[in-house]
Every structure is written in structure tokens, then in C-alpha cells.
Chain A
Amino acid sequence: MLIYTVKRFFEMVIVFFLFLVISYLLFNAIPGNAFSSLLLNPLLPPEAYQKTIEAFGLDKPLYERVQLYIINFFKGDFGYSYTYYPRTPIDLIAERLPRTLMLFSIVNVIAFYTGFLVGKILAWRRGSKSETWITIGSVFSYTVFYPWFALMMLWFFGYKMDWFPLGKFLVPEKWYDSPYTSDEIFYTLILFVTVSSFLLFLVFIFTRNIESLQNRRNVRFLGLLSLFALAAMYWSNGEAALKRFYAADIAFHMILPTFTVTLVAFAGTALLTRTTMMEVLKDDYILTARAKGLSQKRIRDRHAARTALLPVVTSFIFTIITIIDGSVLTESIFSWPGMGQLILEAVVQEDIPLAMASFSFIGILALIAHFIADISYAFLDPRIRIKAEN
């Protein structure tokens, strides 16, 4: 396992450098001088102009510029953003990246879990009426034109029903006399979500080996209840009680985007799980399990679903990239100030240092997600790590 991880890590480092070089060359290929809009930008004082030329080595030959870009990347130095002048791209990314990560990881987990659940049920009920309807629904949400769908959701739930806010990150009126900045509150929120999802994960791991399905469900339910109780205790005591009001505001703004992306993202997983489950259900050992007289639910959850999980996890590696793409759209439609909105803004306003920095960071985000998924796949399927170690 360790050998495999180290090997993958080295491969990842190589791919990472290749990515950096390619992303630099991409910007370099912009016709004319990539940084020419610098000269036209009245917001930039001469020092910033000089600084940018020096930072990117604009008067040097190409290979030196590429070198300089890689070095600068590790130093976190991308010059100045053209549109937000006194701020640097790194500063902006440090502010925006957590927001994207939070939204994106919550959606990922929920979408994967519901997708797997729905796919499992679909394969099990093959040929029934409900299967046809759920399949049509999943195909619709898999192929629906996402921006249009998101706008419709925004219109229906945000405008017509008025249940949720129309995009944005927070309501400024509530924050006038706030003793905290929005970032502070948001970090508390991130911490809270991380800790509670970790606890939830622990509950699931520890209850995994309970034989009786009924008992297992009850124990899990109890665990969930106690988690809720813990959360309620946390938010009603000490400093968290003061932060509660503001945290609730941010969390309230997250519901609609999360719901919308989940609705679209779960379908891919569901359809794939259905296919792999159907192949697994034709295997002989399922017939054996049936002949032994095991209950239907046990065959489905314990025998078939576990084997069917593998290809779904592989495809999850690819789905992560799709969800990152989707988050770019989600952010621009729901005006969620994250990385996606940042890169779109930078591209539209030709703010090259900012676009370069955010593109590189999104790439790295994808790379890390890819790496984690790869490792967890090897962890799940012993065939892969044995093959890699030999």
C-alpha cells in the first residue's frame, strides 16, 4: 500500500509540473502581448507595473519565464491583480478557495451517497414501473442543461416561493454591527462541518460489523441523534452562541446551491451503479446467496452492492472533475463568491495574473482530488495495489 502511494505521489508530482508548464504556455499563446492590457489599465500605479514585469520576467526569453513562473508559484507570488489592484491573486484565492471547497465537498458527499442508494434500488427493481420512472428522472437530471435548470430552481424556490435567498453569500444588512468578519464565521462553520462529518463517519465505521440489519439501523439512528444533540450543545454555549446568528445566515445561503447541484450530480452515479449492479446480480454467488435463503435486503446490501461499489468509485474520480466544472457554473449563477466566479471574472475582465493563479489552483484542486480518489480505490481493490507493487 505504502509503495503504491509513494509511486502515485511521484507520478502526481510529474503531472503537476507538466500542468504548470502547460498552463503557462497556454497564457503565453495569447496573441500579442499577454500582459498588454496592463499598459491600458489606469488603476495600476507604475510600481505595480514594474513589479509585474519583474515577477513574470516579461523581458526574458520563454524558458526563463517558465522557470520563473514555477518558482513564483511556490513562492505564491503572482504580482498584482489588475482589477482588485492593491490585492494580490494569492490573497484573493486564500479568501475564495475555502468557500468553493466547502460547497463542493458537501455536494460531493451527498451526491455520491444518494446516487449509490438510488442506483442500488433501481437495479434491484429492474422491470418494474417505478424503475422506468426513476430512470427517466435520472436521465433527465443527467442531461438537463444545467444553467437553465439552476436558474429555474432559483426562480421557483428563491423568487416564486421565497423560501431561499436569491444567491449571494450573506445578507449585508445583518452584518452591519457584526463583531466578526464573514471569514471568521465561515472558518468556524468549516470546522464544525468537518468535525461533525468525521464523527458521523466514525459512527458508520463502528456499526459496520453489526450483523443484524435491524439492530444496525437502530444504533445508527441513535448515533445520529446524539450527534444532533452535541451540535445543539455546541451552538448554544460560549462564543459559538454569539456566532450562531451569522453562521445561520451563511448556512441558509448554502442550502439552495447544494440542493440544486446534488439533484444534478447524483444522477450520473445512480445510472452507473444501476449498470454495475445489474452485471453483479447475474453472478453465480448471488444465486448461491438466494439458494441459502438469505433475505432480499441482505443480498442486495451485503453481497451485491459491495462488489458493485468498485467501478462506481473509479468513475467518481472522473466525476470530481465534472463537479469542479459544475461548481464554476453554480457559483456564477448563485453569485457564490468562490474560485469559479473568480476565474470567470478574471477571464472576462482580462485580469491575466489572477486568471493564471486561479486556473493553476483549480488544476491543483483537481489533481489532489484525483490523487485521494486513486489511493482510496487502491485501498478498496487489492488487485490494483498488488499489480502496482510487483
Chain B
Amino acid sequence: MENQNIERDIKATLKKNWRLFRQSRLGITGLVIVIFFGFLAILQPILFLTNVWDEATYHPVVGYDAEQVTRTVVECPDEYPTREYETKEDCPRVDEVNIRYLKAFNIQVEVGDLYESNVQPAPPSSRHLLGTDSLGRDIFSQIMEGSQVAFLLGLISAIIGVGISTLLGTAAAFYGGKLDTYLMRQSDLVLMLPSLPFLFIISAFAELKVWHLAIVLGTLGGLGGSVITIKSQALQVKVKPFVDSARITGGSKRRIMFSHILPNVAPLALLYMVFSVTGAIASESVLSFLGLLNIDMSWGIMIYLAQTEGFIFTGLKYWWLILPAGLAVTLLAGGFYLVGRGLDDVFNPRLRRR
């Protein structure tokens, strides 16, 4: 009977919170973005398993597809600008090929002919929705793989980090004294640590994989500033009447901490979790952008490849190599951030619009 009541209460609270969350437009936008990328992450294995996508063609790392593209043969002028091309970079366009280049390989063609050949990177087509990279690998599949990596890393590191910081923060608030002083100094030290150079150094001597990075990021995040915030929240809960009455009725310290204080700190911890996912995704992308991680494929690596292969300064000519990966990182990190903002409105009643 009592259990049923509790269940109903929880359902009612969830319903109320969902209603509040729904009012924040930014939060809903964020949720939609996160769900979209989650869908992409799940879709890829399904496509492989159902054989809609052939692994040899669409695999994000070892796949290869020689795409036949028909291009017009043109002759690039010596002087720019001309009527058709403004600068040297504009000729040949993506759907054109320079006749001098073909002549160099002893291929006999005339200006205006159609020339069929394999190209990498191939522009978007119905076969490859976002084209292929310079090794003939499908960009869309890479984006999907990248979102798997991002979700895995973000969620693991957030869970580790929030677990640590909630436990330490509540303990510091509840026991106080030396433990409190020690934990606060420790989080000062961690906060002070310049995290990017620190990660550089770790990656210099350890072969960092996604798992390792998630653990390192989670621990760093969990020992840092969030301990202080959660402690201050726990201090507010600690002086509430129900904690006193629990103590008077003979609740043990551990029981008070775990079943009375912890549930009241949980909303704030959830908020932190959502925000720390943003940080984790960004850190992973930065490290793989600098080529310091031992990961096969991720969004950071896609940008790293686009930069090292020199496509970044071609501007929008090879947009499918540059834009999707950068936008994906930005959108997913932004999506989690917006969800956090929406949750903030729910848990922080002072900010609610009246």
C-alpha cells in the first residue's frame, strides 16, 4: 500500500518536472539534438547488422569505395580573374577536371568532354550522403562512429565524475572537520591544474584509449570544483528539520547521509552530470584534433585529418570534410548544455518565470 503511494508520488513529481522542463524552449531544443545524435549512434550498428550497409564499403575506418564521378574537362587559364573563375583555387571546380592534368598522364581528351574517373574525396551523392574523405571512407558513417565515441566517453566520464563528487561533497558537508579541509584543499589543487597540458603529458606516455580518457576526465572533473558546489548544497540540506528528526529517531550517520541527504543533492548532481558531458566531449575532440589519442575514428580525428591533409584552407570547396565534424561536436556539446539549462529551470525554482 505504502509502496504504491510512493510510486504514485514519484510519477506525479516526474510528470510535474517534465511539464516544467517542457516550458523551456532551449531545453527542448537541446533534448531534440541529443536524441538525434543518439539515434545516429544506434543506427550505424543496425545498418551493418541488417546488411543495408556493406561493411567493406561503409566501415568508418577500413571501408573503401571507389566512386565513379563524371566531370567536365576544362582548361584552366593562366591569369585570374576571368569571367568564370575568380582565383586560382576556383579552377577546376568540384565537377570539373583540368585538361593539363589529364595530358600529363597521356589521356587524350578535348575540352568540353565528359571524363569519368574515381575521385577521393568524392562529393555527396545518394550513395554517400556526406561524400567520402580522401581515403574513400564514408563521412556519414564516420559521423555516426564519432557520435558513438562521444556518447560513450561523455556518459562514462560524467557518471564517474558525478559519483565521486557527490560522495565527497556530501561527506565533506556531513562530517566536516579535517576531512572537509582536506577535500577543499584537494579540489583547489585540481581546479588549479591546467587540465589541457596535464592531458598532453599523460597522453605523451600512455596510449590513451576512449576508456582511459573517460576515467581520467571523470576523476579530474569529480575531484574539482563540483565537490565545492555539492558540498554547499549538502550543507543547506543538513540543517533542514527532517535530518534532525531522523537523527533523533536514531538513524545511523550512514543512513542519514545515504537516504536523507544524498537524494536531496541528487538534482544538482544530475545538473553537473549534464554539464560535464559537454566538457568531456570537447576535451576528447581537442586531444584527438592534436593527434594525441589512440582512437581509430572520432569527430576530432576527422578535423585533424582535414587539417593535416590541407583541406581546411580550401574553404567551402570541400565543405563535407570540414563542416559536418565541427558542427557535430558543437551541436552535441551545445545540446547537452541546453538540456542542462532546461533542468536548471526545473530544479532552481527562483529562476522560473512567474
Contacts and interface: CB of A to CB of B under 8 A. Distances in A.
Chains A and B form a bound pair: yes
B189 A19 contact: yes
Interface stretch (A171-179, A227-235, A342-350): A342-350
A145 B337 contact: no
B194 interface: yes
B192 A363 contact: yes
A355 B204 contact: yes
Given A140-B330, A321-B195, A325-B194, A147 B204 contact: no
B190 to A, nearest CB: 10
Contacts of B307: 151
Which of B206, B329, B350 gathers most chain A CB within 10 Å? B329
B192 A370 contact: yes
B191 interface: yes
A10 to B, nearest CB: 12
Given A145-B326, A147-B286, A318-B225, A15 B200 contact: no
Given A27-B201, A143-B330, A15 B192 contact: yes
Contact of A332 (B204, B282, B290): B290
Contacts of B313: 155, 159
Interface string A11-27: 10011001100100011
A207 B337 CA distance: 39
A30 interface: yes
B290 A344 contact: yes
B194 A142 contact: no
A147 B350 contact: no
Given A18-B189, A148-B325, A363 B290 contact: no
A193 to B, nearest CB: 24
A135 interface: yes
A127 B63 CA distance: 49
B192 A142 contact: no
A31 B194 contact: no
B289 A147 contact: yes
A359 B201 CA distance: 9
A324 B330 contact: no
B201 A143 contact: no
B192 to A, nearest CB: 5
B191 A321 contact: yes
B194 A160 contact: no
A139 to B, nearest CB: 6
B278 interface: yes
Contacts of A324: 194
Contacts of A152: 322, 326
Q: Which of A14, A29, A347, A359 has the most CB of B within 10 A?
A: A347
A383 interface: no
Contact of B282 (A22, A145, A278): A145
Contact of A142 (B325, B337, B351): B337
Contact of B194 (A139, A143, A148, A366): A366
Interface in B101-121: none
Contacts of B193: 19, 321, 363, 366
A344 to B, nearest CB: 6
A143 B351 contact: no
B315 interface: yes
Contacts of A263: none
Contact of A15 (B26, B188, B329): B188
Interface in B11-41: 26
Contacts of B299: 145
Q: 4 closest A-B pairs (Cβ-Cβ)?
A: A148-B326, A145-B329, A143-B334, A325-B196
20 contacts: A15-B189, A15-B192, A26-B202, A29-B205, A30-B205, A31-B205, A139-B338, A143-B278, A145-B333, A148-B330, A151-B303, A159-B315, A282-B350, A321-B192, A325-B195, A347-B292, A350-B204, A363-B192, A366-B194, A370-B191
Interface of B: 26, 185, 188-189, 191-198, 200-206, 225, 278, 282, 285-286, 289-290, 292, 299, 303, 307, 312-313, 315, 322, 325-326, 329-330, 333-334, 337-338, 341, 350-351, 353
Given A145-B330, A370-B192, 10 more contacts: A26-B201, A139-B337, A148-B330, A149-B326, A324-B194, A325-B197, A347-B201, A347-B292, A359-B198, A366-B193
